[in-house]
Structure 1
């Protein structure tokens, strides 16, 4: 005879995993805001901009944003580097700690 499954334990494990994934998603979104320099905006400005982005259905605009985002993640950010960092092709990310080096989490 087979051992009965503990559905309560399995459900709790799934809930814990879902909570951990939500936490990681929120942390990564925060890191993205900082990495793009959007952390200088007020919460109202950032919220308003995100609402406009989410409501936009114009395919051309969304494709242009996707290309710009892909270029950012490839290290060719449209933002200009700080004046203290020389603009060379050999150093794609300016120093200053705004982007995690390994894509992992940073201690807060």
Structure 2
């Protein structure tokens, strides 16, 4: 005998998942704006720059922006991994934290 599917529950679960993804995307955009220092810009300037980037059709310009963005993420990743290694090697995190149970 076949199991009866609850389509309403499945649709609700999919809707909830989509909402979570939208919230996470917005949060990540905010974190990106802070990480790049763009939070210091006026909102009108930031919006104008983003609109210009969306409207840009020249391939060489967008390729240069893409390369610069990729470099930013590589450097950021390298810095965060160095910080994590430095903390674990120096023992500061272990000494300052609570003892595991």
Length-normalised TM-score, structure 1: 0.69
User: What stretches of structure 2 of length at least 5 have no aligned partner?
Assistant: 81-101
CA RMSD of aligned residues (A): 1.5
Select the structure of larger CA radius of gyration.
2
Structure with greater helix percent = 2
1:2-21 alignment, distance < 5 Å: 2-21=2-21
Count of paired positions: 79
**Counterparts of residues 25-36 of structure 1 (less than 5 Å):** 25-36=25-36
Question: 1:36 Cα deviation (Å)?
Answer: 0.1
TM-score normalised over the length of structure 2: 0.74
Q: Distance in 1 between matches of 2:25 and 2:79?
A: 25
Query: Counterpart in 2 of 1:71?
Result: 71
Moved over 2 A (4+): none
Q: Which residue of 2 aligns with 1:52?
A: 52
Q: Point out where structure 1 has 5 or more consecutive residues left out of the alignment.
A: 77-90, 94-108
